[in-house]
Structure 1
Amino acid sequence: MKPTRFESTIALIDKKNSEDPNVYRVHGLEYPKELLYSQRMTRKLLQFEPNASKALQIAARAQHICRWKIPRNDYPMDRVGYLKWRETLKKMHADITTTILEQVSYDDEFIDRITALITKKLIKKNEESQTLEDVVCLVFLDYYFEEFAEKHDSDKVVDILQKTWKKMSDKGRKEALKLQFSDKNLKLINEAIAP
């Protein structure tokens, strides 16, 4: 049976992300870092929003497509450099995804919708944009936060948690509080979200 446009799109995104030279170890197995991240995004999205539209599912899967191609250290290691790097990445993620969507014959309107989601337009104003932002935060908290907290001092961790919390909706925050954290990090989370 011929794959659907949606299935082809996901397969093409995965093909790109499987080229990531950076690997991430899980349970003794190595995965291309961004391929693993994109699959975690899909899993978390469907747990959080089981009726997510195809556009939202594609945007989640392509969130970090080919991220390794623009390293963080290409930009000054300050706040301005970080923001510039993030903006450049968003544009690249959207451009690569657009090429894939055109390849499988999606129309301009659908492509524009996904571009708006990937480039984080209308967070807090658009339900799908907010859902995607919630899922990004939940994936960080569930899969990457403990490792991040190991590498940074408590003040930095609390600061990042406060920024993460601010980006999330009430529904996203409720979901975040169901995740498992070490006692030490749960204390930091409670400190970060205390009114």
Structure 2
Amino acid sequence: MTKTPFFNASELIDAQNAQDPNSEIYQSQSHPKELLYSNRMYSKLMEFEPNASEEVQIAAKAQHICRWKIARDSYPMDRVGYLTWRGNLKKFHAETTAAILEKVGYDSEFIDRVSFLIEKKQLKKDEETQLLEDVICLVFLDYYLEPFVEKHDAEKLKNIILKTWNKMSEIGHQEALKIKYSDANLQLIKEAIGL
């Protein structure tokens, strides 16, 4: 069986993310943190929009590719530092992914589209950028809200949830309310979004 460019790209993205020195315990097993995130992004995308284009599928898998290589504390620990770090990360993720896609034989138009999506350009205007953002928010709410709850007070959490909610589409909102939250977290979400 001939391996497709998508299969080869996926393997290379996974191989990069498998090198993450940071790990996360999930279902009693230790996983490289960004490989686990990548798998969650892809699974959530296919569950939410099974007909997503190949470009979106790759952008979802590569959303945080090699994120550990640009540490948050290498930038000033203020809002400007945070925004600069996030902006540089998006470019880094897009460039790292573009190199992989070129290597496995995708054309420049395809690669440019994946970069556009990874950099989350034209959010709320471009349907596929919005789809990717919905999936990012759904993955956060499903897998990463709980650790946030342990670190922050209720008001800060409500602010984080509301910002997340405002980035999502109406279909994203409907999907978010289907996630199985703890009673306390569901109550927090409802308070944050005014339900």
TM range (shorter): over 0.9
Displacement after TM superposition at 1:180 (Å): 1.1
List per-residue Cα deviations over 1:142-186 (Å, max 9, x = no partner). 011011111111111001001000000000000000011111111
Q: Tell me which residue corresponds to 1:144.
A: 144
Q: Tell me which residue corresponds to 2:38.
A: 38
Unaligned ranges ≥5, structure 2: none
Q: Tell me which residue corresponds to 1:104.
A: 104
Q: Tell me which residue corresponds to 1:19.
A: 19
Aligned equivalents of 1:149 and 1:184: distance in 2?
10
Would you say 1:95 and 2:91 are equivalent positions? no
Aligned equivalents of 1:58 and 1:21: distance in 2?
23
List per-residue Cα deviations over 1:66-87 (Å, max 9, x = no partner). 0000111111111111110000
Q: Tell me which residue corresponds to 1:193.
A: 193
The 5 A counterparts of 1:92-171 are: 92-171=92-171
Q: Tell me which residue corresponds to 2:7.
A: 7
Length-normalised TM-score, structure 1: 0.98
Aligned equivalents of 1:77 and 1:171: distance in 2?
35
Letter in 2 for 1:48: F
Sequence identity, in percent?
61
Aligned equivalents of 2:58 and 2:85: distance in 1?
22
Letter in 2 for 1:151: K
- Secondary structure of 1:123's counterpart equals coil
Q: Identify the range of structure 1 (71-80 vs 95-104) with the bigger mean alpha-carbon deviation.
A: 71-80
- How many residue pairs get aligned? The number is 195
Q: Identify the range of structure 1 (94-103 vs 179-188) with the bigger mean alpha-carbon deviation.
A: 179-188
Q: Tell me which residue corresponds to 2:77.
A: 77
Would you say 1:58 and 2:58 are equivalent positions? yes
- Secondary structure of 1:160's counterpart equals helix
- Secondary structure of 1:31's counterpart equals strand
Displacement after TM superposition at 1:2 (Å): 2.5
Length-normalised TM-score, structure 2: 0.98
List per-residue Cα deviations over 1:108-154 (Å, max 9, x = no partner). 10001000000010110011000000000000000110111111111
Aligned equivalents of 1:53 and 1:147: distance in 2?
31
Aligned equivalents of 1:2 and 1:19: distance in 2?
27
Displacement after TM superposition at 1:188 (Å): 1.1
List per-residue Cα deviations over 1:43-70 (Å, max 9, x = no partner). 0000000101111000000000000001
Moved over 3 A (4+): none
Aligned equivalents of 1:183 and 1:87: distance in 2?
35
Aligned equivalents of 2:162 and 2:79: distance in 1?
16
Q: Tell me which residue corresponds to 1:174.
A: 174
Letter in 2 for 1:78: D
